[in-house]
Structure 1
Amino acid sequence: MAYEYNMVVIGAGSAGLVTSYVAAAAKAKVALVERHKMGGDCLNTGCVPSKALIRSASFLRDAKRAQKLGIKKVEVEFDFAEIMERVQRVIGAIEPHDSVERYTNLGVDCVVGNASIKSPHEVEVEGRVLTTRTIVVAAGARPFVPPIKGIELSDYRTSDTIWEIREQPRRLMVVGGGPIGSELAQAFAYLGTEVTQIEDGERIMAREDADASAIVMEHFREAGVNIMTKTRAREVVVEDGQKIMLVECDGKEEKVPFDLLLLATGRQPNGDKVPGLAEVGVKISKRGVVEVNEKLQTSVPNIYACGDIIGSYQFTHTAAHAAVYAATNALLPIKRKVDWSVVPWCTFTHPEVARVGLNEQEAKDQNIPHEVAKYGIDDLDRAIADEEAEGFVKLLTEPGSKKLLGVTIVGDHAGDLIHEYILAMKKGLKVTDILGMIHIYPTLAESNRFAASEWYKAHPSSLMLSISEWLNRRNRG
């Protein structure tokens, strides 16, 4: 059978864009189908707008702490609507990177419309049937809306729709203590909104180590965020025209009033939203996760999937990473397993929390033998000069070995600092290799070397110390 395309990609978010880019670079004929906006969640409702909002909010944080920098007084006036319009301007400035025009120039056929899979080799878009040797499904995920009674009364927002507002809420309730909820809760608090954050677990940012989330929670409280942990949102009611969330906290019911509700309780993969996918035999879980093997093949061999829809790491950078494998595996006879051995991420709160590999709580939960070395950034010269002297760099290593198992950094620009350790783990470098590098003084990056130094202090070479002691004793006569 002759095919019009080597590959049809469904979804133009991070995973779909990279898949089609790689396929076009390999001189394959590829079609990229997108029903809504090029760039997907990351550009339009995720990474880009949230970081733009965080930047504006951080400026207000700095203004409020001006006295720490020796400045008596700083007055700041702002219009919330203008800040939200700036968010849109930032999206617009980055939009050309993901545009139809750019990808058309790269050799990708961009097709606008709803995709429906008719067979393992046929994708229909608005009445047009595209025949293809392979299909890559990269249809992403959507915000999960928890089953809260009366939720329809709240006019709630999610990470997809919060960007539509132009009037600053006086009281914002955030349900969810993960990265999305935490980033937005703190940003709105810096802007002056009264924020209540509800989390049913013992602490926010539960995937991170307890000492990391404790530092972040302290900053949230300083910013005025009312953190309610071990609390479950039960029901939305309206009393005397006021919206109220009935919550259960320590077995007791409380009423928490709010003006705007933001649901940040995770994202649900869109496998169940791709017409025809299940019908052609692709296995999809009840959660909408498209099931794939280590080579990103679905249960239908010529259909692949990558990005948020496969339900593993829901990050832009991991989607792009997997997309390279999806593209090459779909096109080439030799199939490669996706390398998930070194996966980093960062939550862009203040302070930032970045990590790669295992953290301490995971190592304990999985009974993985490990040793911990920790350096406090409160001792770092540059951090002291910047009035950002808090946080830490924590290294996990194999017992009796210089091999890194994972690193967590909490502090200013942690998301940038972690890359030195990402490279070290990827290339199999030892802790002592970091220690042996010259780091520029005074920089935040010195904290990486000092963390390695803390490890070395706990693992001195007894042989080298014995030789040194003997030589020094001899040289004294």
Structure 2
Amino acid sequence: MNTRKLVLLTLIALLIAGFFAFDLGQYLNLAALKEQQGALNQRVAEGPMLAAGLFFVLYVLVTGLSLPGAAIMTLVAGALFGLLGGTVLVSFASTLGATLAMLISRFLLRDWVEARFGQRLASFDQGIEREGAAFLFALRLVPVFPFFLINLGMGLTRLPARTYWWVSQIGMLPGTLVYVNAGRELGQLDSLAGILSPGLLGAFVLLGVLPLVSRKLLELVKARKVYAGWVKPKAFDRNMIVIGAGSGGLVSAYIAAAVKAKVTLIEKHQMGGDCLNTGCVPSKALIRSAKLAHEMGKAEQLGFRAVKPEVDFAAVMQRVQRVVAAIEPHDSVERYSGLGVEVLQGEAKITSPWTVEVNGQTLSTRAIVIATGARPLVPKIAGIELVTPLTSDNVWDLREQPQRLLVLGGGPIGCELAQAFQRLGSSVTQVEMTERLLIREDPEASQAVMASLRQDGVDLCLQHKAVRFEIIEGQQHLVCLNLADDSEVAIAFDQVLFALGRVANVKGFGAEQLQLALRSNGTLEVDEYLATRFPNIFAVGDVTGPYQFTHTSSHQAWYAAVNGLFGGFKRFKVDYRVIPWATFTDPEVARVGLNEQDARAQGIACEVTRFGIDDLDRAIADDAASGYIKLLTVPGKDRILGVTIVGEHAGDLIAEYVAAMKHGHGLNKVLGTIHIYPTLAEANKAVAGEWKRAHAPQTVLRWVARFHQWRRGGKQADQAVVAE
């Protein structure tokens, strides 16, 4: 720290220490000031300019040093200087003090914070540069945080001081006026009987309703600005239009119909979206067939003669389609029409904040929900025109099994399909740029999956970067750069499957014309209510993220539907506190909340408790005695921060911990719940028991041991029992 910063910090520390050491706060409370009101009024009358000047300086010091008492001083300003004088004094003094506090924070802390959290701060700075004034105005007009926190926090940004000044001046004015008015009314009290006067009661009512009125006013100003240039219909054909019939769209439409709103659901392709047709459902059907092939290979371990499964790949893929067809009625046009949803097949285009065009017809609506999903990412690798890429969209069209399958990507989709195809008889090579698969999971979980894939025969090429496709001697090859030694490796294949993530579908339905903002990852930007820049247009599911899971799309859909239909009365912020997910490899990897690597990266203190599933009776009986449960808890407490489960049916077992975290239940509640024996679910209780044993009150137990020894009638303590 340089000398100037040290001097300033020392001066501020001395001033603050003096404030508390001399208990100056006792003079900044309503009772003390009321006692001195007569004397203070006399001094103001004798020298109004001097009194105003001293008050101004004191107010600036209190706010600039973030000391308690600014609210009381605002009331005092009304009592001593009246409504007009008090408002002028406080308005300029509070703005000057706030700006001073902001500049002090910037001078002392900005460089340190930038050096430590530069990457995170950069994105925040970009947002402040784009909408800093509007953001600050919202905080000032509707204070979400105490003003001193706003001053300190905004000092860490690059918002210009002059902008901070004038926005604060305007934004704090309504609150200042209301507080000064309340102080003026309080100053006129001569006895407690006056507390019921209409003027004072009205002042307190204004204090109470100010945040609500301010919030509504801010919303109206924002809406007027964002809707400028658009003509709003005087009447609407529908309450809601939903674009996209995947998980998020279906649930949004279902909820709207359930509350008797008139809702139209528009789908240009297949009802059910990716999950039903190309994602969750077909992949799990394929995994089931692959699992049977693998189980048959373990026949001898289960007491049977060796069996070599003969896979009919075409029949397996036909079964996949039968499973899709069996589930299809759940998401069909007929079902949703029966629920009261108008379903239209066609390509939707939003033509204004309240109108959608489909099949040549323009429909008007009060609210729109965008649920257009995402598509597989196929990067532009050199020579890609030489191959026919497979993705999670078209791999289900295969009827001839690829003998050599190349899988690009080490995420959940890549791992699931690589293992399934290998178990069905393909020779699979999986290429991943990073040093391990499932990079979002703990290394221990990744290692368990990688060991299983290798045992199945998958050739893992980690730290390999795809460079180009080539045809070498009539065969397709992918040339990779081995990042470990910078050498090039050519991998031969018959089919290549891209599993490199998904890209949000943000084009073709009018988002560009409405200038809906996109995040850096290409997803639609929404606020905490899932609204886009237009308060009546919402987005859910893969098109907005942040989680591209079917169950989070459904979760978001409730918020979008309710906010779209009833947002004028009450809006709900989407809750992402407890989001579980699972990768359906063998072993499965399921997770909710923090894992160990995330906790370490975020600097969150936690205790780790582990239970090996190989010690569970049912797992041993099922020949599934591998995997573990890892719990993260608050140090010394049973509050759950996160759980990772690796093993058979991990995706099912995690549900108990999802419910516990959602409803605030700790490990003691889990431990006190009866679990059926013998089941895999007993593992959840077992790991809670491990935590309990680690936190057993040893001192109490030693005294209890002595008590039992005394009850047995012994004269000497049993040293074996009471030993440390």
Aligned-partner SS, 1:449: helix
Cα deviations by residue, 1:209-245 (Å, 9 ceiling, x for unpaired): 1111111111100110001111111100011210000
Aligned-partner SS, 1:279: coil
| Higher Cα Rg, which structure | 2
TM-score (norm 2): 0.65
Deviation at 1:472, TM superposition (A): 1.5
Deviation at 1:463, TM superposition (A): 5.0
- Aligned mates of 1:278, 1:467 — CA distance in 2: 73
Check whether the contact 1:281–1:300 (CA below 8 A) recurs between aligned residues.
no
Please tell me whether residue 399 in structure 1 is matched to residue 635 in structure 2: yes
Aligned to 2:394: 161
Aligned-partner SS, 2:256: helix
- Aligned mates of 2:652, 2:495 — CA distance in 1: 33
Deviation at 1:57, TM superposition (A): 0.4
Aligned to 1:283: 517
Q: What is the alpha-carbon root mean square deviation over aligned residues? A: 1.0
Of 18, 21, 32, 2:254 maps to: 21
Aligned-partner SS, 2:631: strand
Deviation at 1:277, TM superposition (A): 1.4
Please tell me whether residue 190 in structure 1 is matched to residue 190 in structure 2: no
Deviation at 1:79, TM superposition (A): 1.3
- Aligned mates of 1:422, 1:292 — CA distance in 2: 26
Of 250, 264, 267, 2:499 maps to: 264
Aligned to 2:652: 416
Aligned-partner SS, 1:389: coil
What aligned pairs does 1:318-337 form with structure 2 within 5 A after superposition? Answer: 318-332=552-566, 333-337=569-573
Please tell me whether residue 253 in structure 1 is matched to residue 488 in structure 2: yes
Aligned to 2:214: none
Please tell me whether residue 465 in structure 1 is matched to residue 701 in structure 2: yes
Check whether the contact 2:382–2:468 (CA below 8 A) recurs between aligned residues.
yes
Which of 68-77 and 194-203 deviates more?
68-77
Deviation at 1:286, TM superposition (A): 5.1
Please tell me whether residue 344 in structure 1 is matched to residue 580 in structure 2: yes
Aligned-partner SS, 2:476: strand
- Aligned mates of 1:454, 1:380 — CA distance in 2: 13
Check whether the contact 1:139–1:274 (CA below 8 A) recurs between aligned residues.
no
Check whether the contact 1:357–1:407 (CA below 8 A) recurs between aligned residues.
yes
Aligned to 1:99: 332
Deviation at 1:11, TM superposition (A): 0.4
Cα deviations by residue, 1:17-60 (Å, 9 ceiling, x for unpaired): 00000000010000001000000000000000000000000000
Amino acid at match of 2:498: L
Amino acid at match of 1:37: Q
- Aligned mates of 2:700, 2:260 — CA distance in 1: 57
Check whether the contact 2:347–2:358 (CA below 8 A) recurs between aligned residues.
yes
Cα deviations by residue, 1:364-406 (Å, 9 ceiling, x for unpaired): 1111100000000111111111111000011000011110000
Please tell me whether residue 373 in structure 1 is matched to residue 606 in structure 2: no
Aligned to 2:432: 199
- Aligned mates of 2:276, 2:539 — CA distance in 1: 20
Amino acid at match of 1:312: P
Aligned to 2:546: 312
Aligned to 1:355: 591
Aligned-partner SS, 1:85: helix
Please tell me whether residue 39 in structure 1 is matched to residue 272 in structure 2: yes
Amino acid at match of 1:471: F
Aligned to 2:413: 180
Cα deviations by residue, 1:120-176 (Å, 9 ceiling, x for unpaired): 001001211110001000000111112211112110111111011110000000000
Structure 2 residue runs of 5 or longer lacking an equivalent are 1-233, 714-724
Higher relative contact order (CA 8 A, sep 6+): 1
Aligned-partner SS, 2:614: helix
Please tell me whether residue 235 in structure 1 is matched to residue 471 in structure 2: no
Amino acid at match of 1:264: A
Check whether the contact 1:404–1:430 (CA below 8 A) recurs between aligned residues.
yes
- Aligned mates of 2:520, 2:577 — CA distance in 1: 27
Aligned-partner SS, 2:249: helix
Please tell me whether residue 128 in structure 1 is matched to residue 361 in structure 2: yes
- Aligned mates of 2:426, 2:648 — CA distance in 1: 23
Please tell me whether residue 442 in structure 1 is matched to residue 678 in structure 2: yes
Which of 148-157 and 58-67 deviates more?
148-157
Amino acid at match of 1:303: I
Structure with more of its chain in strand, by fraction: 1
Which of 133-142 and 67-76 deviates more?
67-76
- Aligned mates of 1:463, 1:3 — CA distance in 2: 71
- Aligned mates of 1:319, 1:468 — CA distance in 2: 53
Amino acid at match of 2:425: G
After the TM superposition, which segments of 4 or more aligned residues of structure 1 sit over 3 Å from their partners?
none
- Aligned mates of 2:607, 2:385 — CA distance in 1: 49
- Aligned mates of 2:544, 2:703 — CA distance in 1: 56
Percent sequence identity is 55
Amino acid at match of 1:174: V
Check whether the contact 1:278–1:284 (CA below 8 A) recurs between aligned residues.
no
- Aligned mates of 1:152, 1:335 — CA distance in 2: 49
- Aligned mates of 1:28, 1:464 — CA distance in 2: 61
- Aligned mates of 1:152, 1:285 — CA distance in 2: 30
Aligned-partner SS, 2:292: helix
Check whether the contact 2:297–2:309 (CA below 8 A) recurs between aligned residues.
no
- Aligned mates of 1:222, 1:64 — CA distance in 2: 12
Of 277, 302, 312, 2:536 maps to: 302
Aligned to 2:711: 475
Check whether the contact 2:518–2:524 (CA below 8 A) recurs between aligned residues.
yes
- Aligned mates of 1:301, 1:420 — CA distance in 2: 36
Aligned-partner SS, 1:384: helix
Amino acid at match of 1:322: Q
